[in-house]
Amino acid sequence: MEKLTLRIDGMMCAMCESHVNEAVRRAIPVKKVTSSHVRGETVILAETGIDEEALRAAIDRTGYRVLSVKREPWEKKGLFARL
């Protein structure tokens, strides 16, 4: 699994978060997506490789701007993670 953390410009409220989350879900197959207008970021968990250009284009179409993308491998943590 892969975790992407996107810095996004333009989110001002919870409805903005919802718009970004929906745009991401429509553009790429994801396991989970969460956004925070306070932190100005969106975190995406996905099984497969993500087309960064398609992701940027989908978010740009909603009126928000992706400032940066950070990729890192993600592994579930916790008591039952390795069972």
% of the chain beyond a pLDDT of 90 = 75
Tokens found for residue 77: 């943590």
If you average pLDDT over residues 11-21, what whole number do you get?
96
User: What pLDDT score does 41 carry?
Assistant: 97
Average pLDDT, the chain: 91
Tell me the whole-structure pTM to 2 decimals: 0.86
Domain definitions of the chain by residue range: 2-73
Tokens found for residue 6: 């996107």
Topology of the domain comprising 2-73? Alpha-Beta Plaits (3.30.70)
Burial 11-35 (b: 16+ CB within 10 A, else e): beeeebbebbbebbeebbebeebeb
pLDDT greater than 60 at residue 82: no
The string of pLDDT tens digits covering residues 28-66 is 999 999 999 999 999 999 987 888 999 999 999 999 999
